[in-house]
Amino acid sequence: MPLRSFGRIKGRPLRAGQADLVAQFLPQLTVPVSGPGKLDLAALFPSCVDFALEIGFGGGEHLVGQILAKPERGFLGAEPFHNGIAKCLAGLNGAGLLAEPGRSRVRIHPGDARLLLPILPDGLLSVVYLLFPDPWPKARHRKRRILQPDFAHEIRRVLAPGGEFRMATDWQDYADEALAILQRVPGLVGLAGASGDKREPPADHVATRYEAKGLGDTSPVWLRFVRNLDEFHPGL
């Protein structure tokens, strides 16, 4: 098991309404990670034509916004923080996205995304989001950052040809480290010129309250890479 890349799993006790949503809907929406073989995304999302993954969705504001904006897309969301999952379910419910959980366009992995990635099929995700991951700013803790070389190669594997990996961080040294890692992954090409980084968010970005707090040491840096169409070989 890799080093833990996130902080706490639980915070303050859930409110009654949140606890009810978790009890009612999370079992139906949880991604089955223990079955044999790769996850069948077409079976999970029978009405969808493409698929996306958000790693560490926090309170779900970005995830819910993207689901509402892209009705043709099925979304996987990974988040280990129990209170964040509850907030996400409340947002989904408020947006009317839990009316038919059996046909929902979202599935949740309530745990470490690094346990979900290996069961995802090769080359099927249109977008993978990694927005403001735990920065682990102290030098002795940086080995806990989720974006490591092996992780970046797994991201490349699951992206469809032309699919995008989108990362944002407001810690400059994490941006520099992540950029160096991503530039060394064969088949990933930067969208924002040779560097692959940019200060302006993408046009379809959904801002979150966490992002607005500006807890880092720089304004957000966006790293956007796509899987090169010319090198596409599933499982490479």
Catalytic residues: 134
Residues near 113 by beta carbon (within 8 Å), at least 6 away in sequence: 53, 55, 56, 78, 146
| Cβ atoms 181, 150 nearer than 8 A | no
Tokens of 62: 């970005």
Spatial distance between the Cα atoms of 5 and 150, rounded to a whole number of angstroms: 14
Residue type, position 61, single letter = E
Helix extents (H) in the chain? 16-29, 41-44, 61-69, 82-94, 113-116, 149-158, 172-183, 209-213
Q: How many Cα atoms sit within 13 Å of 38 on the Cβ side?
A: 13
